[in-house]
């Protein structure tokens, strides 16, 4: 063979590596987008469900209804309903309405969580933290129609 006809011959698998890698990256990114969209829709449905439950019991504004949902001793300290309270606290944090801050702060006792006798302090703290952050609130942006 002379110098002109000499070509560097790559193995067939090596020549397809960049294309395969690019396809793999695109597939992974597409899967991530699908997971994020599905998770966001699931969260939105859960938030909508909590708002509907609260406004059926206490008609009117969703934030005020969610606060009333846990405001009474019947709903605030009943062991069987602590999970509903936690969902209401979560929903208040997701809605991003700072009107809920005084209410949530008033529920803090400074004691350890005891789901047998009291509402969950950890859930309340998480909702307060979410409301106090001055960062962009993606759930509030995505679900602003639920609030209105």
Among 128, 129, 124, 47, which Cα is nearest to 82's? 124
Cβ(53)–Cβ(87) below 8 Å: no
- Is the pTM of the predicted complex or chain greater than 0.85? no
Query: Looking at the 3D structure of the chain, how many domains does it have?
Result: 1
Q: What is the pLDDT of residue 27?
A: 95
pLDDT band for position 105 (50/70/90)?
very high
pLDDT band for position 130 (50/70/90)?
confident
In a domain, 17, yes or no: no
In a domain, 128, yes or no: yes
In a domain, 138, yes or no: yes
Q: What is the pLDDT of residue 29?
A: 95
Which alpha helices (H) appear in the chain, and where do they start and end?
12-15, 17-57, 62-71, 73-76, 82-95, 100-107, 121-132, 138-142, 144-147
- Which of 19-28, 42-51, 57-66, 111-120 shows the lowest mean pLDDT across its residues? 111-120
In a domain, 10, yes or no: no
Sign of dihedral through CA atoms 57, 63, 69, 72? negative
In a domain, 94, yes or no: yes
Q: What is the pLDDT of residue 108?
A: 86
Range of the domain at 98: 44-147
The encoded tokens of residue 121 equal 């302090």
């Amino acid at each position: 063979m002379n110098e002109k006809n000499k070509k560097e011959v790559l193995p067939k698998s090596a020549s397809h590596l960049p294309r395969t890698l690019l396809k793999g990256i695109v597939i992974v990114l597409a899967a991530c987008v699908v997971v994020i969209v599905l998770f966001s829709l699931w969260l939105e449905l859960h938030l909508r469900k909590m708002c509907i439950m609260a406004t059926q019991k206490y008609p009117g504004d969703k934030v005020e209804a969610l606060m009333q949902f846990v405001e009474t001793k019947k709903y605030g300290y009943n062991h069987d309903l602590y999970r509903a309270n936690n969902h209401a606290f979560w929903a208040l944090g997701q809605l991003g309405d700072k009107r809920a801050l005084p209410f949530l702060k008033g529920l803090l006792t400074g004691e350890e969580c005891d789901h047998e006798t009291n509402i969950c302090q950890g859930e309340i703290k998480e909702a307060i933290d979410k409301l106090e952050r001055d960062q962009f609130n993606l759930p509030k942006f995505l679900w602003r129609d639920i609030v209105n």
